[in-house]
Structure 1
Amino acid sequence: MQTVLISGGGIAGPVLAHWLHRRGFRVTVVERAPAPRPGGQAVDVRGVALDVLDRMGLLDRARRVRTRMRGMSVLGPDGHEIDRSTEATFSSGRLDSDDIELLREDLVRMVHEHTRAGVEYLFGDSVTALDEDGLGVHVGFAHAASRRFGLVIGADGLHSTVRRLAFGSEEHFARHLGSYLSVFGADNFLGLEDWQLWLRDGDAGFGIMPVRGNTELRIAFGFESAPLAPELRDNGALRDRVAGRLASLRWEGARLAEAARDAPDFYCDAMAQIRMEHWSRGRVALLGDAGYCPSPLSGQGTSLALVGAYVLADCLADAPGDHRAAYSRYERRMRDFVSLNQALAVENFGGPASEASVEHAKNALTLDRWDAEG
Structure 2
Amino acid sequence: MSRNVLISGASIAGPALAFWLHRYGMTPTVVERAAEMRLGGQTVDLRGAGRTVIERMGLGDAVRERITHEAGVRFVDGRNRVRASFGSDGDGFVTELELLRGELADLLYQRTRDDIEYVFGDEITDLTETGDGVDVTFRTGPDRRFDLVVLADGFRSRTRDLVFADIARTRSFGLYTAYFTIPRTESDDGWARWYNAPGRRVVLLRPDNQGTTRASFSFLIGHKGLDQLRSPSQKQFLRDHYTDAGWETPRVLDGMDSSSDFYFESVGQMHLKHWSRGRIAAVGDAGYCASPLSGMGTSLALVGAYVLAGELDRHTDHRDAFRSYEAILRPYVTQAQKVSWFAPRLAAPKTRTGIRLLTTAAALASTPQASRLTSRFTNPPADAITLPTYPTSP
- After TM superposition, the score normalised by the length of structure 2 is 0.86
Alpha carbons of structure 1 residues 345 and 303: separation in structure 2 relative to 1, 3 Å: farther
Q: Does 1:332 align with 2:352?
A: no
Structure 1 CA distance for aligned equivalents of residues 275 and 140 of structure 2: 27
Structure 2 residue 139 is the aligned partner of structure 1 residue 156: no
Shift of 1:356: 1.6
1:274 aligns with 2:270: yes
Aligned to 1:236: 232
CA distances 1:43-73 after superposition (whole Å, capped 9, x unpaired): 0111011111111111111112112123433
Cα pair 2:43 2:99 within 8 Å, conserved = yes
**Distance verdict in 2 for CA 1:330–1:267, change over 3 Å:** same
Partner of 2:260: 264
> Which segment is superposed worse, 80-89 or 123-132?
80-89
For residues 340 and 123 of structure 2, the distance between their equivalents in structure 1, rounded to whole angstroms, comes to 30
> 2:383 — aligned with what?
363
Contact 2:33 2:122 in 1 (8 A): yes
What 5-or-longer segments of structure 2 have no aligned partner?
Answer: 348-361, 366-373
1:107 aligns with 2:104: yes
Cα 1:286/1:357, change in 2 over 3 Å: farther
SS in 1 for 2:115: coil
Cα gap change, 1:6 to 1:227, in 2 (>3 Å)? farther
Alignment partner, residue 137 of structure 1: 134
Q: 2:83 matched to which residue of 1?
A: 83
Partner of 1:178: 174
The one-letter amino acid of 2:332's match is F
Aligned residue type for 1:366 = T
Contact 1:8 1:155 in 2 (8 A): yes
Match of 1:205 among 193, 202, 205: 202
Alignment correspondent of 2:302:
306
Q: 1:121 aligns with which of 95, 118, 122?
A: 118
Alignment of 1:13-32 (within 5 A): 13-32=14-33
Given residue 286 of structure 1, which amino acid in structure 2 is its aligned partner? A
Opposite residue 107 of structure 1, the aligned amino acid is: L
Q: 1:345 to 1:264 in 2, by over 3 A?
A: farther
CA 1:248–1:347 in 2, change beyond 3 Å: closer, same or farther?
Answer: closer
Aligned AA for 1:28? T
3-state DSSP of counterpart to 2:272: coil
What SS is found at the alignment partner of 2:185?
coil
Shift in Å, 1:366: 1.9
Does structure 1 residue 53 correspond to structure 2 residue 54?
yes
State the Cα distance separating 1:158 from its structure 2 match: 0.5
On the 8 A contact 1:2/1:25 being kept in 2, the answer is yes
Q: How many residues get paired?
A: 363
Deviation at 1:193, TM superposition (A): 1.7
Counterpart code for 1:367: L
Could you tell me how far 1:358 is from its partner in structure 2? 5.8
Query: Aligned partners of 2:175 and 2:8: how far apart in 1?
Result: 27
Distance 1:180 1:312 in 2: 31
SS of match in other structure, 2:337 = helix
Q: Cα offset for 1:121?
A: 0.2
Q: Deviations for 1:46-103, whole angstroms, at most 9, x for unmatched residues?
A: 1011111111111111112112123433122x334251325349xx8456x5x51111
What is aligned with 2:337?
342
For the 8 Å contact 1:242–1:260, the answer to whether it is kept is no
Q: Say if 2:93 and 2:378, in contact at 8 Å, map to a contact too.
A: no
1:260-303 per-residue CA deviation (whole Å, 9 max, x = no partner) reads 12110001101100012111111110000001001111111011
Displacement after TM superposition at 1:344 (Å): 4.2
> Once the two structures are aligned, what percentage of the paired residues are identical?
37
Deviation at 1:7, TM superposition (A): 0.3
State the match for 2:352 in structure 1.
none
TM-score (norm 1): 0.90
Superposed displacement of residue 232, structure 1: 4.0
Q: How far apart are residue 328 of structure 1 and its match?
A: 0.4
Q: Deviations over 1:205-263 (max 9, x none)?
A: 021012126x2100021011346237843333323222332333122222211111211
CA distance in 2, matches of 1:271, 1:86: 24
Question: What is the aligned counterpart of 1:315 among 311, 316, 322?
Answer: 311
Q: Which amino acid aligns with 1:85?
A: S
Residues 327/347 of structure 1: CA separation in 2 closer, same or farther (3 Å cut): farther
How many angstroms apart in 2 are the aligned matches of 1:109 and 1:116? 10
Whether the aligned pair in 2 keeps the contact of 1:244 and 1:257 (CA below 8 Å) is no
CA–CA distance in 2 between the matches of 1:239 and 1:192? 23
Task: Give the 3 Å change call, closer, same or farther, for CA 242–370 of structure 1 in structure 2.
Answer: farther
CA contact (8 A) 1:183 1:219 kept: yes
Cα distance change of structure 1 residues 88 and 346 upon mapping to structure 2, 3 Å threshold: farther
2:39 is aligned with 1:38: yes
**Whole-angstrom distance in 1 between the partners of 2:226 and 2:193:** 33
- The 1:298–1:231 alpha-carbon spacing in structure 2 relative to 1, beyond 3 Å, is closer
